[in-house]
Amino acid sequence: MTRISAAENHTIDMDFERWQLNQQDEEGNITLVIDAKRGEPIHYNNNFAVTRHLPVGGELPLEYIQQVVVGWSYEDEAWHLGLLLMRDLADARKSRWCEVARWPDPDLDLFTDISKAAGQSLSQILGKPLNCVSPRPENKREAPSLPELPLEVGIWTLTQAGDNQLEFIRARKWAYAQTSRLVWYIFWAMIYLLLSLMTLNSSLALPNAGTMLPNPQYLPYIGLATAALLVGMVFYLLYRLLTTPNRILIDGEAHRVVGCRGQKERWEKTGNNLCDVYVTQVVKDKRDKRTVYHGEINLRQTSGEFYCLFQNADREEENLPVDEAADGKKKTVESEDMISALTAWDDLNNLQSAGLHIAKTLGDMPCWYDRRNQ
C-alpha cells in the first residue's frame, strides 16, 4: 500500500482495491476520515459529513459522483483533490464541489505528481473519470487587475467604501417595486372585502345554480378569506421593506461581512469563520449567446455551511467566450456543469468580478465559480 501526505495532518493510503484518507491529531491518534473500496460506496466519518455538508449516514453512493477533480488554485496557491457531485445532491448541499484533500504549493509544481497520483488512484477505485486542471503557463506572469468599481450586479451596485472596504448598495427600484405590489394588494383586499360585505348585507338572493360552486352562499366567505390572505401579504411586504438590508458592507480591516438597514446592522458574518467565496450561475448557451437565469454569491463557512450574500434573479444575456480554432475561425467554448477556481485571468462578468473583489478584500480567500446548466 502506498502512503502520501497531505495538508492538515492528513495521509492517504492507496492500493489497487482500496483508498483511505486518515488524519492524525496532536496526540498521535489516527482517525479514518474516508474509506473507499472498489465498486462500493464511499464511507466517511461524522466530522467529514458535517464540514462537507454530506448525508449524515456516513455513506455516499457512487451514482452521486460525476467525476474526480485535481487542480491548482491561484487564490490559495494549493493543489486540490475533490469530487464533482451530481445535481440532485449538489442542490441539497448548495454546491457541486466536495474537497477531499489539499497540498499548499507556492512553487506550483512541487506536489503536482503527488496530487495527481492520489486523484488517479481514487478515480480508478470509484470507477469515475478524472479531470486534471493544470495551471496555465501564462498565469505565471503578474495577474491582471480586477475590473474597476463601481460594478452593477442586478439591483445591487458594488462600490469602494474606504480603504480595504467594499459596499453593496441596493437600488431604489427594489423598494419602489415592493411598494407598488403593497399598494396593489391593499387595493384588491379592499375590493374583495367591500364586495363580500355588500353581498352579505344585501337583501338580494344569490343564484341557486352555477358552475363555480355547488353552493353560491359560500362566495362572500371566500371573498373574505381572499381579502384576509391579501392583508397577510401586505404585512409580509411591509415587514420586508422595513427589515431587509439595503447595504452589505465587506470590511477587510475588521475581517467581517455585515448586512445593514440604513445604519442598523441586521446580520454579521466574521471572516474568521469564512473560508471560501462561491459565485453560482444558472446558464444556458445557445449559438453565440449565453443566457444567465440566476446568479448568487455565497460565503462558505468553516463549518461547511453556506451563507447566501445576495441573489440576482434578473435574466441577462452575454456573449459567449471564444477560443481560436486551428483554421483561425472563432468557435464557441462548450459549457458544462462545473466548479472551477475563479481568477482575474478568466473572462469575467460583473457577478464574477464582484466575487473576486470580495475574496480579495477578505484576505485573498479562494474564490470558486459554480456553473450550472439550465
Q: Please choose, from the candidates 132, 242, 123, 131, the residue with its C-alpha nearest in 3D space to the C-alpha of residue 182.
A: 242
Interatomic CA distance for residues 244 and 286, integer angstroms = 36
- Does 216 have pLDDT greater than 70? no
Neighbouring C-beta atoms of residue 261, cutoff 10 Å: 14
The C-alpha cell that represents 141 in the structure block: 506572469
Longest dimension (CA), the chain: 91
Which residues, listed in sequence order, are joined to residue 193 by a DSSP beta bridge?
Answer: none
Q: How far apart are CA 369 and CA 67, in angstroms?
A: 17
**Angle of helix 172-201 versus helix 219-243 axis, rounded to 10:** 160
The model's pTM is 0.57
Q: Which three cell numbers stand for residue 188?
A: 384588491
Q: Which residue has the cell 456573449?
A: 319
- Give the pLDDT confidence score for residue 191 in this predicted structure: 93
pLDDT at position 336 is 58
User: For the segment 227-280, what is each residue's pLDDT rounded down to a tens digit?
Assistant: 999 999 999 999 988 888 999 999 988 888 999 998 888 988 887 778 889 999
Q: How far apart are CA 337 and CA 97, in angstroms?
A: 11
- For residue 31, what pLDDT band results from cuts at 50, 70 and 90? very high
Q: What is the mean pLDDT of the chain?
A: 84
DSSP character for 9?
A: T
Q: For residue 272, which phi and psi values (nearest 5 degrees)? A: -65, -20
Three cell numbers at 310?
445576495
Q: What is the reported pLDDT for 312? A: 82
The pLDDT value recorded for residue 204 is 58
CA distance 215 to 230: 24
pLDDT of residue 331: 41
Q: Cβ distance 167 to 245 under 8 Å?
A: no
Can you give the pLDDT at residue 142?
A: 62
d(CA 365, CA 300): 11
Cell numbers placing 258: 455585515
Contact 166, 258 (CB under 8 A): no
| 3-class DSSP state of 74 | coil
Q: What is the pLDDT of residues 4-22, one digit of tens each?
A: 999 989 999 999 899 999 9
Asked whether residue 211 carries a pLDDT value surpassing 70, the answer given is no
Q: Read off the pLDDT band of 32 (50, 70, 90).
A: very high
- Is residue 252 within 8 A of residue 361, CB to CB? The reply is yes
Start-to-end C-alpha separation, the chain: 43
User: Which of 168, 303, 334, 329 minimizes the C-alpha distance to 244?
Assistant: 168
Pick the more confident residue, 244 or 142: 244
In SS3 terms, 200-266 reads as HHCCCCCCCCCCCCCCHHHHHHHHHHHHHHHHHHHHHHHHHHHHCCCEEEEECCCCEEEEEECCEEE
pLDDT single digits (tens) 309-362: 888 877 777 766 654 333 334 444 445 567 788 888 888 889 999 999 999 998
Domain ranges within the chain, ordered by starting residue: 2-138, 151-170+245-373, 173-243
Q: Could you tell me the fold of the domain covering 2-138? A: PH-domain like (2.30.29)
Alpha helices (H) in 63-164, listed in sequence order? 87-93, 112-126
Q: How far apart are CA 22 and CA 5, in angstroms?
A: 10
